[in-house]
Amino acid sequence: MGTRSGFYLGKRVVVTGAASGIGEATARELCVRGARLVLLDIDAAGLARVATIIGDLGGVVETHTVDLSDEAQVVEAAAAIQARGDVDVLVNNAGVAVVKPFERTSTVDWEWIMGVNVHGPLRLTRALLPRMKERGVGHIVVVASLAGLIGAPGMVAYSTTKFAMVGFAEALRLELAPHGIGVTTVCPGYVRTNLHHATRYDNPGFKRLLDEAPAIYGMTRESVARALCDAVVRKRPLIVLGPEKIAFWLKRFVPSVGFALSRLVARQSGIAEAH
């Protein structure tokens, strides 16, 4: 974990998707840095477990069990959070994944992933933003993905939602700059979390790729959490994490090479069918 930082001391930070993965690691990192935590997740048991860990570390924590795809629940949670004090930082981390070719991604799949990955963070941000603007301070974090910067074959729905959140964060950053509110987008490559096991799969190649990946492949959730917390302190607009980020730079500066490389990797791994 990171060292205690004066930036977070006493700050009230909301973290969604906090019952596991990057969200849990971020909560632990923020606790060490002195933040007061407000943790949201649909998993009540997981939230209770993380709250116990934070308490054992001497942290201040409150939890709210929320289905982010349910607007009424989001509005109710936001009201309860603000009734107990101001929010200094909002970390929109919660997310789900659908790994299926586009033609096999159903309407139900689209509604589920859009509800959690897009509508949820938009609603929560909209609910908490007015108070931030009134105070003239605050920071919003959007945990997107490298799949929000580079189209991911075999997981079109996931990539679509992450591209949406990258665009949301970029536009919001410009809109809120005059109000003293920062926005940071975090785009990691593959991270070793339990998202893989909770994913809706209809893509054997992709699932096999992750199932067979060596234990050392991918970033740890702790490394992402540290980078996220540091990026807020430094007011960085965008951080791209992991060795896969080379594909992002290739796409930006040599698009044809970046596309060819992504296509080759997808075909060889069985993520996308060759036609």
DSSP letter at 94 equals -
53 near 28, Cβ under 8 Å? yes
Quote the distance between the C-alpha of residue 179 and its chain's center.
24
Contact 15, 40 (CB under 8 A): yes
Q: Which long-range contacts (CB under 8 A, 24 or more apart) does 229-232 make?
A: 229/2, 229/5, 229/8, 229/26, 229/29, 229/30, 229/33, 230/2, 231/141, 231/184, 231/186, 232/7, 232/89, 232/139, 232/141, 232/182, 232/184
DSSP state for residue 196 in the 8-state scheme:
G
Q: How far apart are CA 50 and CA 39, in angstroms?
A: 9
DSSP state for residue 116 in the 8-state scheme: I
E strand or H helix that includes residue 240: strand 238-241
Comparing C-alpha atoms, which of 127, 135, 137, 133 is closest to residue 92?
127
CB-based contacts of 59, cutoff 8 Å, min separation 6:
31, 35, 36, 37
Q: Please indicate whether residue 190 is annotated as part of the active site.
A: no
Length of the chain: 275
Contact 92, 144 (CB under 8 A): no
Catalytic residues: 158
